[in-house]
Structure 1
């Protein structure tokens, strides 16, 4: 299964980006191939197209499944497992954000909350306590915002994102209406 030059460029780029996002290059390339494939692929297809060992592909597919970025598909008359990515890019974006939050943000929130329950001992620790409290408040504010935005329909979210800095103008205008300058 030879890759077109465009597909190869995309797959290679995703491999490089994957290593920056916390997954290995192989997993990034496998995801890119599945993302671009019009039909589900089985592990042998992936291994052949990318020149990876079958065991490496199996491990990568397990990782992609743990991230909920690929779905297992069965086909009638075929015992092999096939895989595909969600078709809607907004669904992929939401899944990525949920998984990043679960793996990175939530443990940080838990650590900060637990740490801040302990009373600071001394001036240096009081300063550290204050800084951690600032960080906790910022992360809680952003995750609260994320929860609200996450529930918006994709069309509304797209409109909000397209507004960009116009949101500030709306907020400034609303503030003036309320008598806040």
Structure 2
């Protein structure tokens, strides 16, 4: 086994992350590069990544650019070394927040913008009025979710963790305090 071979644990994680990445809408290679950088105890340069994953250097370079555009890896320089090194935040909360922000910027904001523009148009037909009503419902839900997301992002990690652990208890609390109307029982 060469010094660059991945341990079975790391190999399993990297492989799984590549599979999941393709389901999340990113290239499998990009997912594997990210997984390797994430679990690495030290920053890696592109040649190390290419060697460890047995990818071409050009694939690694493209993958690193993609990860940088998502703000999931950071570029580092080592004293006396001209190569660029990459590491990833190790805090899962920070990673989740970055991913949520990027997905919002790339997916939610353009959709909201399109819906806002569509709702400003004067409907020409009954079909347009129905379509606009449905778009308004979608717009209102997305706006509500983004407002909630903004509120959640302002919470500190400990408070957010406690809130998440509460789960359905929040619903019972709201019902108890009368802030949530429960559906009528038949």
**Above 0.5 in TM-score?**
yes
Aligned partner of 1:55 in structure 2 is 58
Summarize the alignment of residues 129-148 of structure 1 with structure 2, pairs less than 5 Å apart: 129-148=132-151
- Counterpart of 1:152 in 2: which secondary structure? coil
User: Over aligned residue pairs, what C-alpha RMSD do you find?
Assistant: 1.3
Q: Provide structure 1 residue ranges, at least 5 long, that are not aligned to the other structure.
A: none
Per the alignment, residue 88 of structure 1 pairs with: 91
Is 2:126 aligned against 1:126?
A: no
Structure 2 counterparts to residues 63-82 of structure 1, below 5 A: 63-82=66-85
Structure 2 CA distance for aligned equivalents of residues 99 and 78 of structure 1:
31
Give the alignment partner of residue 120 of structure 2, picking from 117, 138, 153.
117
CA shift, 1:77, in A, is: 1.1
Deviation at 1:122, TM superposition (A): 1.4
User: 1:170 is matched with which residue?
Assistant: 173
Question: Distance in 2 between the 1:2 and 1:155 partners?
Answer: 38
After superposing the two structures, state which structure 1 stretch, 7-16 or 130-139, moved more.
7-16
Unaligned runs of 5+ in 2: none
What are the superposed Cα offsets for residues 29-81 of structure 1, whole Å, 9 maximum, x if unpaired?
00000010011000011000000011110110000000000000111111110
> How many angstroms apart in 1 are the aligned matches of 2:159 and 2:47?
40
1:9 aligns with 2:16: no
Q: Deviations over 1:69-118 (max 9, x none)?
A: 00001111111100000121100000000000000000000000001100
2:31 matches 1:28: yes
Classify the secondary structure of the residue corresponding to 1:79. coil
- Runs of 4+ aligned residues of structure 1 deviating over 3 Å after TM superposition are none
Instruction: State TM-score, norm by structure 2.
Output: 0.93
> What secondary structure is seen at the aligned counterpart in 1 of 2:152?
helix
Give me the whole-angstrom Cα distance separating, in 1, the residues matched to 2:147 and 2:44.
38
Q: Secondary structure at the match of 1:77?
A: coil
2:14 & 2:20 partners in 1: Cα distance? 10
Q: d(CA) in 1 for partners of 2:138 and 2:40?
A: 42
Matched, 1:150 2:141: no
